Amino acid sequence: MLNLNYSNYEIIIVNDGSTDDTKAIAESMVGYHKGTVSQIKISLINKVNGGKSTALNAGIKYSDAEFVLCMDGDSQLSPDSLRFAVRHFKDAKIGAVAGNVKVVNRKKLLTDLQALEYIEGLNMARSAQSYLRAVNIIPGPIGLFRKKAIVDAGYYSRDTFAEDADLTLKILAADWNIYYEPRAISFTEAPSKLQQLLKQRYRWTRGIIQSIRKHKKLLINPTISFRNTAILWSMFYEALIWPTMNIAAHLFFIIAALFFGFSSLIIFWWIGLAILDFISALYCIITEKEESRLLPYTIVYRMFFILVIDICKAMSTIEEFLGIRMTWGKLERTGV
């Protein structure tokens, strides 16, 4: 954080009741430190564990700056991230800028597949939404906000498990625009075990559905804001319709092969998906100057990785509609 190419900023660390030695380490960092351009002040808020949203709100409320950048404890910003992101606030209608999240702990099958997913699945969608100035999720690892937009939106809420999606929808509902800046990069640690990945996706899916349900008025009434209705429908499609379609298609080809003898259908389905994924991954890798070694993963990406994710999404959706109790849980971090 001290290496940012930006002159006027301060760092606020929020220790949300950590049980490890976070408090002692953070306290040793409080004070003025030499940054790349200027002296950077670091403050610390130690609070009782109340969840990510309360921690972020504590930091935001303590800050008296016009713009606040929220990030996760397991993320690292690229030196130019703040500089690239903050310039979009020249437009007075921009309430927030979503950054580009990249997986830092690669070189494992599961984390490489997630790296590809972040590039192809998440960032490309955000680039498209950015044309409408309506990015639907400002990612937790990097989101730069105009503080007034957060105030208008009512800060982070505790009533969903995807506080970033919820705040984004609230900012859009408050008639602010949200931009995506691909050069504002945050490196984050992705789950390296399947169980951890499922835990993360379970929370994301249920959190997003909770956010959609919370804003269902916008979903069903396009006269309030057509843009926001379109954004919510795209979230609804991504969270519910697409996973259902994907699972149904797979089941169709399995049944067709096993019971009706159309065994060759599944290979054409897989080839079709792999070609589409290869092309879009190639485009994203070139435009984002990413590692070309991720390209071969497109062979297994849609047919297998996304199937695992979609089954998890479908199960989580069922649990959400059944109202099964959930908790935040804790993701294991290796501290890459």
Partner 1 sequence: MELITILSTIILIATISTFILSIGAYILYKVRSRREQRQILSPVVNTQAELVTVKEADEWEELRRKSGRPSLSRVQGEGVLNEREKPEPKPVIKVEKVKTEKSMSPRFVKYNPQEIENAVGELKWK
Q: How far is CA 172 from CA 29, 132, 151, in A?
A: 36, 11, 13
108 binds partner 1 (CB under 8 A): no
Let me know: does 55 contact 47? Beta carbons within 8 Å: yes
263 part of the interface to partner 1, by CB under 8 A: yes
d(C-alpha 226, C-alpha 231), whole Å: 9
- Alpha carbons within 13 A on the beta-carbon side of 62: 19
61 binds partner 1 (CB under 8 A): yes
**DSSP per-residue string spanning 183-240:** EEEEEEPPP-SHHHHHHHHHHHHHHHHHHHHHTHHHHH-TTT-HHHHHHHHHHHIIII
> In the complex with partner 1, which residue's Cβ is closer, 46 or 234?
46
Residue 190 interacting with partner 1 (CB under 8 A): no
The whole-angstrom separation of Cα 157 and Cα 247 is 32
Q: By CB under 8 A, is residue 253 in contact with partner 1?
A: yes
Q: Where are the alpha helices (DSSP H) in the chain?
A: 22-29, 52-62, 81-86, 109-116, 124-131, 147-153, 163-173, 194-214, 216-220, 226-236, 242-260, 265-287, 298-300, 306-322
As measured in angstroms, the least distance from the Cβ of 288 to partner 1 is: 28
Smallest distance, partner 1 to C-beta of residue 256, A:
10
Q: Nearer to partner 1 by C-beta: 289 or 330?
A: 330
Of residues 57 and 75, the one with the C-beta less far from partner 1: 57
Is 264 one of the binding residues for partner 1 (CB under 8 A)? yes
* Shortest CB 167 distance to partner 1, Å: 13
User: Contact between 30 and partner 1 (CB under 8 A)?
Assistant: yes
Q: Which residue from 125, 307, 331, 336 is in contact with partner 1, where contact means CB under 8 A?
A: 307
User: Which of 83, 108, 227, 250 touches partner 1 by CB under 8 A?
Assistant: 250
Question: Is 138 one of the binding residues for partner 1 (CB under 8 A)?
Answer: no
User: If binding is defined by CB under 8 A, does position 115 make contact with partner 1?
Assistant: no
**Does residue number 194 form part of the binding site for partner 1 (CB under 8 A)?**
yes
Token pair 């830092």 is found at 104
Interatomic CA distance for residues 248 and 267, integer angstroms: 16
How many angstroms separate the CA atoms of 278 and 272, rounded?
10
Residues in the chain: 336
Residue from 1, 5, 45, 282 touching partner 1 (CB under 8 A): that is 45
331 is a site residue for partner 1 (CB under 8 A): no
CA distance 54 to 60: 10
303 is a site residue for partner 1 (CB under 8 A): yes
Residues forming contacts to partner 1 in the complex (CB under 8 A) are 17, 26-27, 30-32, 41, 43-51, 53-54, 57-58, 61-64, 147-148, 151, 154-155, 158, 194-195, 198-199, 202, 250, 253-254, 257-258, 263-267, 270, 303-304, 307-308, 311-312, 315, 327, 329
